[in-house]
A and B are shown apart, each in its own frame.
Chain A
């Protein structure tokens, strides 16, 4: 077992990052699967990270309670901003959620007294272990797979393809959109809360535009046909930079190139490539 210990000593942060990134990918999967282009998840992650971090650092609250608040607060904020913003669609929705992300980042940056501002929040206890992350990923994946199989997943697919037609089938499309947005906010917040408790230090800029795009890339790369697509995307986007370590500062560039290639050659993500059985069923799908 010695090799395991040394492996963990070297790679524990990476393994835990894979887990939290899978959570983030699952959070964006929820909205993407409904055809909603939202990029607020980085901000939800930040709210979750700061909420949980402040609770353990300053208020000395139990870790579990901090995690709970770290996902409930972003979910409540998602509920609040979801009602007006989800009436938008396409690029406008993306712009509105992007603006929300900037508002959150700047708020954290300027609330120096509580958040530490640009200097970040230091000395967060390292409470996140493999067990918490594994449990969170397992539960999230279980719930999302169950949803995807059920009438709720079927409705999400329908909304993605034709919102108006779905509404005229007697389904409250707005309620469904709000539901996935809020659940996505909770998951992203949980990912942030877990992440903060193994990185020791967080700062507002970790939850800005770059992170938002990274989360989006995980969702698009993996594909939105199934929660498994998000898992693939989350794992790949986390491991790719490690595999390309030699490229140094060019790593984000490679991320971009990989994303462009996937969008060009398999617009529905890697999951769709791995599962060709579906299109074989009917002859000559156009």
Chain B
């Protein structure tokens, strides 16, 4: 459903992405890995419309996303989280998750001024929906707290709940497990599997290899802005190009193993 064809991005003379092609089919969990600075987050920024590609085509269900403003990309069904968590810290959890619901109002602008029964009913439904989404990521009991009071791992889960509130078809997670302890990671993996089962496609950037290898059906590896490998976790693990990208070229076989 998402197709990137020969995508390139330059910042001035700096080539961040070169000729990256990638296809995400409907359903399934996919990984995007690579050393720091490989261009992974740039791919996310291009797809969500925060950056414009220098060349290439981004298509979602056959529709070109190039040049579409971010809010419209989101409405087409692409949601994301951020590497450096960007929740609304001074709002409650319920409010955080309710923000995206405002893009699909169930009532007209005038009823804001003259609250009718239908308006109150719609507001109540929104709050209920927000609670359900918080429950999905295990934060229902903290619904009335300010988001800034949550722990790091909880903030990441809140960000996922907020992304889900946009009703995405494709969810893109930028290092969702960063800063989590191993039990939190385990819990997050289970949640992501459930998302896949509910019919979403998930694209994950992550540095934690056991996390990525354990979840993904297919992994794409970026290095210096180019795709150097693509395949199932086992193929990636065995790929000499990937090992070289992460560990460097060894002088002797022993070194390249370590």
A interface residues, Cβ below 8 angstroms from B: 142-143, 146-147, 150-152, 154-155, 157-158, 161-162, 164-174, 278-279, 281-286
Instruction: Confirm or deny: B79 has a beta carbon within 8 angstroms of a beta carbon on chain A.
Output: yes
Known: A146-B113, A168-B71, A170-B71. A155 touches B102 (CB 8 A): yes
Whether the pair B100, A171 counts as a contact (CB closer than 8 A) is: yes
Complex contacts, B48 vs chain A, CB 8 Å: 168
* Any A CB within 8 A of the CB of B52: no
- Determine the chain B residues whose CB is within 8 A of the CB of A170 once the complex forms: 71, 74-75, 100, 103-104, 166
CA distance A236 to B80 in the complex (A): 44
Q: Are A165 and B146 in contact (CB under 8 A)?
A: no
- Output the least CB separation between A136 and chain B (Å): 16
Given contacts A158-B91, A169-B99, A170-B100, 20 further A-B contacts (CB under 8 A): A142-B113, A146-B113, A151-B98, A151-B101, A154-B98, A154-B102, A157-B95, A161-B88, A162-B86, A168-B48, A169-B74, A169-B100, A169-B162, A169-B166, A170-B104, A171-B102, A173-B71, A281-B146, A282-B146, A283-B149
Query: How many residues of B are in contact with the other chain, CB < 8 A?
Result: 39
List chain A residues, Cβ under 8 A from B165.
169
The reply to whether B146 and A152 form a contact with Cβ atoms under 8 Å apart is no
Within 8 A of A (CB), among B146-184: 146, 148-149, 162, 165-166
Residues of B near A143 (CB, < 8 A) are 113
Q: Is B89 at the interface (CB under 8 A from chain A)?
A: yes
**Distance in Å from the Cβ of B159 to the closest Cβ of chain A?**
9
Does B255 count as interface, using CB distance less than 8 angstroms?
A: no
| A158:B88 contact, CB within 8 angstroms | yes
Chain A interface helix/strand/loop/mixed = helix
Contact count A vs B, C-beta below 8 Å: 98
Residues of B within 8 A of A278 (CB): 146
Does residue B224 face the partner (Cβ distance < 8 Å to A)? no
Contacting pair A282 B148 (CB below 8 A): yes
Given known A-B contacts A157-B90, A162-B88, A171 and B99 have beta carbons under 8 A apart:
yes
* B14 CB, nearest partner CB in chain A, Å: 22
Say which residue of A152, A158, A169, A285 sits within 8 Å of B112 (CB atoms). A152
Q: Are A152 and B71 in contact (CB under 8 A)?
A: no
**Is B144 close to A, CB under 8 A?**
yes
CB atoms of A161 and B149 under 8 A apart:
no
Q: Which residue of B lies closest to A149 (CB)?
A: B112
Report yes or no: B102 in contact with A165, Cβ–Cβ below 8 A.
no
Shortest C-beta distance, A179 to chain B (Å), equals 10
User: Residue on A with the closest CB to B142?
Assistant: A282
> Considering the chains assembled together, what is the distance between the CA atoms of A166 and B71 in angstroms?
8
